[in-house]
Structure 1
Amino acid sequence: MTAIAETAAKTVLICEDDPNLRTLVRLALGDDGYRFFEAPDGPSGLALARRTQPDLIVLDLMLPGRSGLDVLRELRNARDFADTPVIVISAWSHSDDAAVRAGADRFVAKPFDPDELRDAAIALLEDDSANE
């Protein structure tokens, strides 16, 4: 089965305050048929995650309203999101350890290579599908 067929029904929540970076994430993943939801800050990201139950979350660390680390910790403490794959993206490359300790599955430093982000998303979604 192709990556496109495997991800056709997958949903991705992009929690990033920069609209240009949200667009870049969509473009990086868009050829694989994902359905996207977007949040520009931490509180709306949490609310949208609860409402949409995404298959993958792409989360910035520096968000208005609530930090990405706080959002990640809250998600990981909720049973519904304990196993939801999360890719943290951040310009603060020294934040990778903190992100992984908080529960991130992958860390991608900004500015990121779109292929790196796409490959990470596909790997996490394939792994998640295999565990279902």
Structure 2
Amino acid sequence: MKTCLIVDDSRMIRRVAGRIVKDMGFNTTDAANGQEALDACQMDMPDAILLDWNMPVMDGYGFLKALRKERGGDKPVVMFCTSERDISKITDALAAGANEYIMKPFDSAIIQSKFQLAGLL
């Protein structure tokens, strides 16, 4: 079974996204910030990562850059799932290795379509 790490400082977002991704057949884990997510990836690299941008300790962009330097860090499909709408930040995220960009608020149809586009389903 494929795995998805959900990284967001909002417990509510982690729960909602987790339910959506579980319904698509994934095992899920979560992290409240980029450092927790990096630690989790160093222990067990997931197949997919839903990633918020603005978080304490380490933001999503910092996490993405660190992830892509890790052994196996090129493998997960990373989808920013954020309210960050600055086009330069979106461009930076894609250049740093993000595969997709989902704007909040999101629903199951949006996440499912992005997972299909990325070849996860």
Q: Check whether TM > 0.5.
A: yes
Could you tell me whether the CA contact under 8 Å between 1:24 and 1:114 is conserved in 2?
no
CA–CA distance in structure 2, aligned partners of residues 119 and 29 of structure 1? 12
Name the SS of the counterpart of 1:79 in structure 2.
Answer: coil
In the alignment, is residue 123 of structure 1 matched against residue 106 of structure 2?
no
Match of 1:13 among 1, 5, 10: 5
What corresponds to 2:26 in structure 1?
34
d(CA) in 2 for partners of 1:107, 1:32: 19
Give the TM-score taking structure 1 as reference length.
0.83
Please tell me the root mean square deviation across aligned C-alpha atoms, in Å.
Answer: 1.5
Number of the residue aligned with 1:103: 97
Query: Aligned with 1:80: secondary structure?
Result: coil
How many equivalent residue pairs? 119
**Is this contact kept in 1: 2:80–2:100, CA < 8 A?**
yes
Please report the TM-score for the alignment, with normalisation by the length of structure 2: 0.89
Query: Alpha-carbon deviations, 1:50-86, whole Å to 9, x = none?
Result: 1121010111111110111010001112231113210
Give the drift of 1:123. 3.1
**Are 2:57 and 1:60 aligned?**
no
Which structure's residues are more often helix, by fraction? 1
The structure 1 segments of at least 4 consecutive aligned residues displaced by more than 4 Å after TM superposition are none
Match of 1:72 among 51, 61, 64: 64
Identity of aligned residues (%): 26
> Which of 1 and 2 has greater Rg?
1
